Amino acid sequence: MSERIGWIGLGKMGAPMALNIRRAGHDLVVWNRSAARCEPLRAAGATVAADVASLAAGADILFVSVADDEALRRVALGEAGALAHMRPGSILIETSTVSVAISAEIARAAQARGIGYLRAPVSGSVQLASAGKLGMLVSGPRATFEAVEPILGLMTAQRLYAGDGEQARVLKLTVNMMVGLTAAMAGEAMAFCLRNGIDRATTIDGIAASVAASPLFGYKAEALKARDFSPRFSAAQMAKDFDLALSAGHALEVPMPLTALVRQGWATLIAAGEGDDDFFKYTELAIRAAGVDEA
């Protein structure tokens, strides 16, 4: 536990992941754009850095967990960014869901400075993050992955090494794309049943007991019965990830007609002021379109 570990980004997922590292006894230095988010880490014994530059300069391993491409570019690149201050031989591990393009840009900058770079997006809920049970997709130099895997194991239950380039980014976008498509499919199925006079609870239980069931649908079943769309992952966040997937697909001329169609549903939810609701609010689009009144 002699590695000096830094962490940038203490949002809903970043904070519990960082806490697991600190609770395992590692020295940890953290920074977040909103300083108040650092306080739970400070209370757990972490040091709070004054800025990105000083944190990066002292880190052997630096984790980044931020919202999107813009935030990643801001903290990683440029004269004030982390890569400009990290030492050759140190390691950057980026856990966010971002585009293939920005990830490749980070990779080029890291390579030029002799810094190991792992793309390591995570999957799972905040509860799984707190329990250290997330899933992680990793790509980058295999030797770098093997060197830090014990630390990654403090935050994750599963780690899949996917290759030496941007494979983890592509796989994470693939997973999120399929998760979003599941919400659209479930909505259409529910509308069909409800319009035929089957009540919501019976519809959901029937799907959950069938070969069409999935861990995701099972996880969402009770919330769907209650029409509880408190955000675990918002429609707006899913729209962002669909845009990233579509952009990567367009770059290689990969036809993605279902993804493009479902993307319009996210736009409909956002335009209706429902973008901050859970992405499974998508089910309500098909139900409303079918003229079902459950009042």
Domain closes at, from 165, 183, 212: 165
User: Does 138 share its domain with 110?
Assistant: yes
User: Does 147 share its domain with 187?
Assistant: no
Distance CA 176, CA 131 (A): 22
Domain closes at, from 131, 165, 199: 165
Q: At a CB cut-off of 8 Å and minimum separation 6, what does 113 contact?
A: 83, 86, 88
* 72 residue type, one letter: L
What pLDDT score does 295 carry?
Answer: 65
Tell me whether residue 213 is in a domain: yes
Q: Which of 38, 39, 119, 115 is nearest to 72 (CA)?
A: 119
User: Does 232 share its domain with 263?
Assistant: yes
Domain closes at, from 127, 149, 165: 165
User: Does 13 share its domain with 153?
Assistant: yes
Question: Could you read off the pLDDT of 226-279 as tens digits, one per residue?
Answer: 999 999 999 999 999 999 999 999 999 999 999 999 999 999 999 999 999 999
Rg (CA), the chain: 21
> What CATH number does residue 194 fall under?
1.10.1040.10
The length of the chain, given as a count of residues: 295
Alpha-carbon distance values, 134 to 100, 122, 157 (Å): 22, 6, 6
Supply the pTM of this predicted model: 0.93
User: Does 134 share its domain with 205?
Assistant: no
User: Does 144 share its domain with 180?
Assistant: no
User: Does 11 share its domain with 153?
Assistant: yes
Distance CA 120, CA 118 (A): 6
If one counts the domains in the chain, the total is: 2
Low-confidence ranges of the chain (pLDDT < 70): 1, 295
Residues 182/216, Cβ–Cβ less than 8 Å = yes
Tell me whether residue 233 is in a domain: yes
Tell me whether residue 295 is in a domain: no
User: Does 147 share its domain with 181?
Assistant: no
> What CATH number does residue 150 fall under?
3.40.50.720
- CA torsion sign for 26, 38, 75, 169 is positive
Alpha-carbon distance values, 68 to 43, 156, 206 (Å): 28, 21, 38
User: Does 119 share its domain with 57?
Assistant: yes
User: Does 226 share its domain with 174?
Assistant: yes
What pLDDT score does 294 carry?
Answer: 83
Q: Which residues constitute the domain of residue 141?
A: 5-165
Q: How many whole angstroms from its chain centre is CA 67?
A: 8
